[in-house]
Amino acid sequence: MAFTPITVTAEYLSPSGTPMSGKVTFMLTSTMRQPSVNKSIAPVEITKTLNGSGQISATLYATNDTDTVPTGVTYEVTERIRGAALNKYFISIDKNAINGAVDLADLVPSIDPVVQLNYATVEYVDDAFSDAGSATNISFTPTSEITSTTVQAAITEVRTRSRFVHEQASASATWSITHNMKFFPNVSIVDTALSKVIGEVVYTSENALTVTFSQSFAGKAYLS
């Protein structure tokens, strides 16, 4: 027999009853196989984005077809609903679902849901700012130190302010470096042949430092 396709639906509303936005991902916990027809269903991610009514619909395959092996395979469901904690749980899909359809609200998770806070993961950031399309379109409020007005420009500005290159043109055993980075940076020294040199670094302030060597030479200091 063939795998039985089942339509899985869901609707997400806020406490006030307005539609939510976000994504729901389904993935099998293992490959399902039917040796009698030489077919397999691979565990790949199936991601559905909530529509304007907060709804999704996905076609999944039943996990309890008679000829399916191994038994006990489930779908991992990950709900990334904007403004809510990430919710993850596992479900089984019954081949005898009425009219070949079932709603997530009617399914009992195989284990208790795992609720996680949304930290700045790639998935969370991508979802949170998906409407902007690009970091260049996301507004950034300037501060006393960062003057940019978009997130992308602010990132570029922070990167620029977080590194400094000092070029020591004349040979010297003591290099005095004013970097104005407002913190105590790591220091890496190379001579004119690009060989790394170790010196004694003394931070005279959060904006300046000196490096002392056993002999005079010219080169560059990379601060970050």
DSSP-derived 3-state class of residue 61: strand
Contact at 8 Å (CB) between 113 and 88?
yes
In this predicted structure, the answer to whether residue 162 has a pLDDT above a threshold of 90 is no
The pLDDT mean for the chain works out to 87
Give the pLDDT of residue 144.
77
Domain 5-132 falls under CATH 2.60.40.3390: yes
Structure tokens at 63: 């996990």
Give the pLDDT of residue 198.
92
State the pLDDT confidence band at 117, using cuts at 50, 70 and 90.
low
Classify the C-alpha dihedral 109-10-45-86 as positive or negative.
negative
In this predicted structure, the answer to whether residue 131 has a pLDDT above a threshold of 70 is no
pTM of the predicted model as reported, rounded to 2 decimal places: 0.55
Give the pLDDT of residue 153.
82
**Domain boundary assignment for the chain:** 5-132, 161-223
State the pLDDT confidence band at 170, using cuts at 50, 70 and 90.
very high
Q: Of 4, 166, 170, which Cα lies nearest the Cα of 99?
A: 4
* Element spanning 96, H or E: none
> How much of the chain, in percent, has pLDDT values that exceed 90?
63
